[in-house]
């Protein structure tokens, strides 16, 4: 960002989009994904109400960009936690769950944009693709876990992935991304670990 001779702020080529996304992330953190207008995002970025239209069709397009970036960050965090299932898929699955909860707590604005913006999937396919990439990490984990079972007792990996995802997502929502929505006698990580342990034992698996 630079300043013109009359004191108005101006943006070098390529910086406006980043400034708008950063402003949207701040506003989502303060008001939620539905709590601000396109004009407010422009004002928060320090540009005119017309400036965002250079990069985004409307507020939903801006939210979609935030959500897609959030899923990219989410995928990176999950990939790092899973680490190709090393040294053991069951232990790696526990790390994956903890990474899920950590991201929801650490990046509440991105998480809200990803899961609470209610963006039409047919109009924002980039968000769907980014979300699918994140889920693919969990699907690979489920494949590796299911491979530990005899073929005649092996559940569908997709079902396992959906169950674990629902458990992690539900716990994140229950506690709230700021950790204050519910006061329970255990941490989110403890609750998730216990839930996954019960689930795995139900499948006939037990972490070492």
Q: Are residues 44 and 115 in the same domain?
A: no
pTM: 0.88
E strand or H helix that includes residue 137: helix 125-146
Closest CA to 52 of 23, 28, 16: 16
Q: Are residues 28 and 76 in the same domain?
A: no
pLDDT tens string 182-197: 577 889 999 999 999 9
Q: Are residues 48 and 72 in the same domain?
A: no
Alpha-carbon span 171 to 189, nearest angstrom: 9
Q: By residue range, what is the domain housing residue 167?
A: 64-203
Closest CA to 141 of 92, 74, 192, 73: 92
pLDDT tens string 146-166: 999 999 999 999 999 999 999
In a domain, 2, yes or no: no
Q: Which residue did the predictor score with more confidence, 192 or 14?
A: 192
In a domain, 119, yes or no: yes
pLDDT tens string 98-149: 999 999 999 999 999 999 999 999 999 999 999 999 999 999 999 999 999 9
- CATH number of the domain that 106 lies in? 1.10.357.10
pLDDT tens string 24-66: 999 999 999 999 999 999 999 999 999 999 999 999 999 999 9
Q: Are residues 199 and 131 in the same domain?
A: yes
Residue 91, sorted as left (phi over 0), alpha (psi -120 to 50) or beta, turns out to be alpha
Alpha-carbon span 159 to 89, nearest angstrom: 17
């Amino acid at each position: 960002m630079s300043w013109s001779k009359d004191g108005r702020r101006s943006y070098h080529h390529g910086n406006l989009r980043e400034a708008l996304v950063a402003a949207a992330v701040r506003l989502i953190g303060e008001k939620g994904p539905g709590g601000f207008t396109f004009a407010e995002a422009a004002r928060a970025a320090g540009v005119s109400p017309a400036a965002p239209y250079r990069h985004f069709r409307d507020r939903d397009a801006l939210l979609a960009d935030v959500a897609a970036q959030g899923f990219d960050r989410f995928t990176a965090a999950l990939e790092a936690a899973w680490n190709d299932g090393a040294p053991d898929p069951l232990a790696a699955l526990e790390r994956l769950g903890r990474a899920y909860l950590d991201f929801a707590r650490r990046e509440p604005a991105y998480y809200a944009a990803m899961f609470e913006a209610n963006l039409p999937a047919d109009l924002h396919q980039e968000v769907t693709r980014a979300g699918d990439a994140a889920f693919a990490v969990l699907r690979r984990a489920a494949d590796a876990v299911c491979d530990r079972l005899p073929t005649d007792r092996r559940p569908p990996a997709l079902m396992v992935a959906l169950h674990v995802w629902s458990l992690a997502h539900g716990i994140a929502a229950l506690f709230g991304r700021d950790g204050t929505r519910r006061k329970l006698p255990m941490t989110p990580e403890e609750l998730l670990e216990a839930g996954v342990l019960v689930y795995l034992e139900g499948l006939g698996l037990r972490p070492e």
